[in-house]
Structure formats: structure tokens, C-alpha cells
Amino acid sequence: MYYIRIDERKKYYSWFDYCDNGTCENFKNDGKLLFGVSIGSIEKHMGNYLFSMGMDKIIEGYYKNVEKVCMCSRIPSLSRSFKRIEDVPCLELNDEILMRDHVVKMFLNKGCKPMELCKDGYYLDQESLGYSLTMGRLVNGNSSL
């Protein structure tokens, strides 16, 4: 799991905004927002384990002065329900089709909440038909998501 600290006051829309087009040059040593840039593993189902262990550390306060953690979730089940991006109906944040996706569930299981659905949030991901769902949760006793 790869995280970067960034400025929580800036408005972000997609994975590309959060991580500066993948360069992560927007890293801030004192950033209060921790963004999960990537989960990577050789084993297919290890991503869930890595994410879970990483979130446990974050929740325990491993990153001092961080107030919120966010990440942009893939939604691979979209390509099993729809053939093309044009076929996807207007979706709401808590739409059932999003909430039952196995990757989205991984984030929900660690207390993350849907924050923003981005239609062109991750064009590299064909399974998600380009969609991403920004998920987030508060940490270190903060109360305003």
C-alpha cells in the first residue's frame, strides 16, 4: 500500500488530481490528508489483506496529525453489468451496484464512506469503465468528513 500526505484544503476530483497525475509531486510533509495511491501485490487476493493491515495502522494513529484518509476505488463489477460506459445509468453515491462491488466493499469494511463518484476518474481501468469512487474516513479523533 502506498500513501502520500497532501494538502486537505485543495479540491480533488479524481485519482489524477489526488496524486498529481501519478507523479506524487504534491506530497506535503505536514499534509493532514493521507491519500492511498496504490495497492500492489503479486498474489491476486493479497490487496485486501494489505489494505486491511495498512488501515489498521492508520486507525491506530501511525501517521501523526493526519485527519483523513482517502482513496479512489476501482469498480470492476461495472464491466460485468454494462458493456460500454455509455450504457451505465446515472449512478448515485450509495447506489446498490456500487455498494456490492467487491473492491468497494473492501473499503466499506474498514469504515470508509463514499465521497464522490467520478465518471472519468480512472480511464486506465477498463473493468471499471473509467469510473472511480472516492472513499474516505476520518482518523485520529476527527469528526468532520
Question: pLDDT-derived band of residue 16, with 50, 70 and 90 as boundaries?
Answer: confident
Domain boundaries, the chain: 2-138
pTM: 0.86
Residue 118 and residue 12: Cα distance in Å, rounded?
Answer: 11
Residue 83 and residue 28: Cα distance in Å, rounded?
Answer: 40
Over the stretch 18-29, which tens digit does the pLDDT of each residue have? 988 888 989 999
Residue 63 and residue 125: Cα distance in Å, rounded?
Answer: 29
Whether 143 shows a pLDDT value over 70: the answer reads no
CATH of domain 2-138: 3.40.630.30
Q: How far is CA 133 from the centre of its chain?
A: 6
117 forms bridges with which residues in the sheet?
133
Q: CA-CA distances (angstroms) from residue 138 to 88, 90, 101, 111, 144?
A: 30, 28, 22, 9, 7
- Contact by Cβ (8 Å): 135, 69: no
Across all residues in the chain, what is the average pLDDT?
88
Q: Which of 70, 71, 66 is nearest to 30 (CA)?
A: 66
Residues with Cβ within 8 Å of 65's Cβ and at least 6 positions away in sequence, in order, are 30, 32, 140
Whether 64 shows a pLDDT value over 70: the answer reads yes
